[in-house]
């Protein structure tokens, strides 16, 4: 899903890779004579605030389980935290790959 930035946003386009992660882009276009343009693209990963809160909650539950010597609960919550963190990175990576492949394909034309 692609979303356009507003008038006061510091980004132009946002590509969502899922509910947890995506990529935001800033674009600049310069005209260099007839039929020649230079397009500059800057992109960076973004993460959902809800996903970050969920990640923090799982991390705190895992740490609390370890502090209270509930090793199994700490391990389960630790694995859930790791899985959620990896999923966030995977979704941001999918979005970045989509952006890079589109930019490369458009640059070849």
Q: Which two tokens stand for residue 109?
A: 């034309």
DSSP 17-86: -SSSEEEEEEEEEEE-STT-EEEEEEEEEEE-HHHHHHHHHHHHHHHHHHHTT-HHHHHHHHHHHHHHHH
Strand partners, 46: 22
- Structure confidence at residue 109 (pLDDT): 62
- Structure confidence at residue 35 (pLDDT): 83
- Structure confidence at residue 62 (pLDDT): 95
Average pLDDT, stretch 15-36? 91
- Residue 62 CB-half CA count within 13 A: 14
Q: Which two tokens stand for residue 29?
A: 């276009």
Average pLDDT, stretch 57-80? 95
Q: Are strands 21-31 and 13-16 parallel, antiparallel or unpaired?
A: antiparallel
pLDDT digits (tens, 9 = 90+) for 71-87: 999 999 999 999 999 99
* Residue of 59 and 103 predicted with greater confidence: 59
Mean pLDDT across the chain, nearest whole number? 92
- Structure confidence at residue 51 (pLDDT): 93
Grouping H, G, I as helix, E, B as strand and the rest as coil, residue 82 is helix
Q: Please give the share of the chain, as a percent, with pLDDT higher than 90.
A: 77
pTM for this entry: 0.83
């Amino acid at each position: 899903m692609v979303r356009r930035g507003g008038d006061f946003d510091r980004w132009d386009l946002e590509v969502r890779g899922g509910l947890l992660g995506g990529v935001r882009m800033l674009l600049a276009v310069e005209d260099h004579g007839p039929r020649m343009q230079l397009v500059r693209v800057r992109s960076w990963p973004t993460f959902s605030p809800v996903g970050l809160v969920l990640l923090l909650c799982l991390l705190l539950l895992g740490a609390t389980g370890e502090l209270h010597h509930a090793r199994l609960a700490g391990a389960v919550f630790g694995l859930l935290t790791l899985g959620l963190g990896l999923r966030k990175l995977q979704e941001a990576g999918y979005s970045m790959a989509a952006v890079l492949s589109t930019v490369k394909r458009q640059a070849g034309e």
